[in-house]
Amino acid sequence: MKYLITRQFQKDLDKIQDKRILQKVLQTIENIQLAKSINEIAHSEALKGFQGFFKIKFDYRYRIGFVFNNNSQIIELKRCLGREGFYNQFP
């Protein structure tokens, strides 16, 4: 699938110092790129109460928040945060 990385997502990645977490982010983005539909993205779930907003649990502490536009079939990666702040700052 096609994806876009937002400026805020890039800022979130710049704050992460752990190389292991950054490697997992890269693997997750590769998984998104290879997926043919939203259901093929591993560990992704729709956020309840928010149409088109999803999360990916790629580590026990970290989440990636994204928006999926069904018309254009593009995933927009919005946030990459720790579990503690993710639900306060996304969506």
Per residue in 54-63, pLDDT (tens digit) is 999 999 999 9
Q: Domains of the chain, with CATH numbers?
A: 2-84 (3.30.2310.20)
Rg (CA), the chain: 12
Sign of the four-CA dihedral 50, 52, 53, 58: positive
pLDDT, tens digit, 9 for 90 and up, residues 39-83? 999 999 999 999 999 999 999 999 999 999 888 889 999 999 999
Q: Which residues contact 58 (CB under 8 A, 6 or more apart)?
A: 24, 25, 27, 28, 43, 64
Q: Average pLDDT in the 24-32 region?
A: 95
In the chain, % of residues over pLDDT 70: 100
pLDDT at position 75, please? 95
In the chain, % of residues over pLDDT 90: 84
pTM of the model: 0.91
